[in-house]
Amino acid sequence: MFRAPNDIIRCRSPVEPGSSSTQWGAHLFAVATRCLCGNIKSTPTGGFAVHTIDPGPHSNKLLASLPNEDFQLLIPHLSFEQLASGTVLAEPGVEVDHVYFPLSGAVSLLVVMRDGKTIETGTVGREGVVGAVSGIASCEWQVRAISKLPMFARKIASTEFRKAVSSSRAIADLCLRCNEGLLTQARIGAACNAVHQIEARFCRWLLETRDRAESDTIMLTHEFLAQMLGVRRTTVTETSIKIEAAGAIICSRGVIKIIDLEAVKAMACQCYETFREQTSLLGAPAAQPRAGR
Ligand SMILES: [Zn+2]
């Protein structure tokens, strides 16, 4: 069922009997992000699946930028994927057997340490592609890929993607450009993690995710954010309390709402702008959330 962004009041009823407050947060998030909200189901990963309408392959900026003859090499092999937040798409050491083109939301690329700790080293949204390196040669994942927002994507088998790359200079260039972009993200992220304080990194991550979600209301748990930032959950909680005390955000169970955008920007490190510029270089300016949301 279609629900417009300002239809949030109509959504203020339990989606399903026994819906938890966390599911409630996901419901608000789904509406706030202009998803065409229907039902919400919790998933084994603890994330959420939202029933909505396929936004179409051209929602991915890279697919949209391809000349039609190159696009036609891919489209017969692109399947539709609806991903709940927290869905693991790939694990390190596993062969890259599929390539994902996000149509909304974002995929986080995490380095996984031997003790299980993780830290985000890159994010891919509608401007990019996940697993493009497999278009050049068969390879293994070096990172864990996980959807950090409820999202849609188009997926293609790596074997089919390689055939398209071998036949299309435009698609091959796309692979190289995206891999260079991810490398740059990793470089900036390494410097940020080494130099900038957790409050500034927290705000940077929040702003980046806001751009991807196209909403000031973001559904995420402190546990999930700790995995992204490479810190303990208690550190995330302490940091969010400080930022909330400054009047910049409101935190409730599983939901962070930005109430003073300029304050969050003032607290974020310069890397937010650097990442935005990097995203623009890939051909897709960071999304601008609509006013009043
Ligand atoms: Zn930084």
pLDDT in tens, 182-219: 888 889 989 999 999 999 999 999 999 998 888 899 88
Å from CA of 287 to ligand 1 middle: 20
Å from CA of 164 to ligand 1 middle: 37
76 and 180 share a domain? yes
Q: What is the Cα–Cα distance from 70 to 236, expressed in whole angstroms? A: 45
142 and 73 share a domain? yes
73 and 133 share a domain? yes
186 and 87 share a domain? yes
**Global pTM value:** 0.75
| CATH code of 183's domain | 2.60.120.10
The better pLDDT of the pair 226, 55 is held by 226
178 and 108 share a domain? yes
Å from CA of 69 to ligand 1 middle: 41
Q: Identify the DSSP state of 120.
A: E
Query: Which residues constitute the domain of residue 223?
Result: 196-281
Instruction: Name the H helices within the chain.
Output: 21-32, 61-65, 68-74, 158-167, 169-195, 198-213, 222-229, 233-245, 261-267, 271-281
Residue-wise pLDDT tens digits, 246-273: 999 999 888 899 999 999 999 999 999 9
Whether 42 shows a pLDDT value over 90: the answer reads no
Å from CA of 259 to ligand 1 middle: 22
* CB-based contact 224:237 (threshold 8 Å): no
Q: What is the DSSP string of 38-69?
A: --EEE-TTS-EEE------GGGSHHHHHS-HH
Å from CA of 271 to ligand 1 middle: 4
| pLDDT value of position 85 | 86
Å from CA of 275 to ligand 1 middle: 10
158 and 202 share a domain? no
